[in-house]
């Protein structure tokens, strides 16, 4: 529930978050994100050090996040990592499509739900007749 103003992209990310992990690669730009807030004991031995070394070697490819886990969601078969610098540019077209076509999307969902309900009722009637 929204209790104060949230940027539409923040709402979109909240809705599409499907989980989190200590390390996640962004499917849109390839950056590797890793959690750094009180997480040392959760990494495999040497794993966090390897990520920090990667950050030193390729700072544009590794993103430490001061959090306990990296939140992400699936969009068009790719993982979008929330907090990734590419998210506003790469995710905004999906959000814009949904907003621009919300009436059609709602109509589609209603029709799909009605068809599924009809199929379920038919199946129930068939099973009750057995």
Q: Is residue 25 part of a domain?
A: yes
Report how far residue 71's alpha carbon sits from residue 33's, in angstroms, rounded to the nearest whole number: 10
Q: Is residue 118 part of a domain?
A: yes
Q: Is residue 3 part of a domain?
A: no
- For 18, phi then psi, to 5°, come to -115, 5
Cβ-contact 11, 90 below 8 angstroms: no
The count of domains in the chain is 1
Count of other CB atoms within 10 angstroms of residue 93: 11
Q: Is residue 109 part of a domain?
A: yes
Q: Which of 20, 66, 73 is nearest to 39 (CA)?
A: 66
Residue numbers of the domain that contains 41: 8-128
48-74 pLDDT, tens digit each: 999 999 999 999 999 999 999 999 999
Q: Is residue 2 part of a domain?
A: no
Q: Is residue 36 part of a domain?
A: yes
Q: Is residue 1 part of a domain?
A: no
Give 40-49's long-range contacts (Cβ < 8 A, gap of 24+): 47/23
The residues of the chain scoring below 70 in pLDDT are 1-5
The pLDDT, as a whole number, for residue 129 is 86
Q: What order do you get walking across the sheet with 62-65 strand by strand?
A: 23-25, 32-35, 62-65
pTM of the model: 0.78
Q: Is residue 83 part of a domain?
A: yes
The pLDDT, as a whole number, for residue 5 is 65
């Amino acid at each position: 529930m929204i209790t104060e103003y949230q940027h539409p992209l923040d709402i979109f990310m909240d809705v599409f978050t499907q989980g989190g992990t200590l390390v996640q690669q962004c499917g849109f730009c390839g950056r590797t994100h890793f959690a750094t807030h009180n997480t040392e004991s959760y990494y495999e031995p040497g794993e966090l050090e390897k990520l920090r070394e990667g950050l030193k070697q390729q700072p544009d490819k590794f993103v430490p996040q001061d959090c306990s886990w990296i939140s992400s969601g699936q969009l068009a078969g790719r993982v979008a990592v929330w907090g990734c610098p590419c998210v506003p540019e790469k995710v905004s077209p999906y959000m814009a499509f949904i907003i621009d076509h919300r009436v059609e999307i709602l109509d589609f969902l209603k029709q799909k739900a009605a068809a599924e309900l009809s199929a379920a009722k038919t199946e129930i009637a068939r099973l009750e007749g057995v």
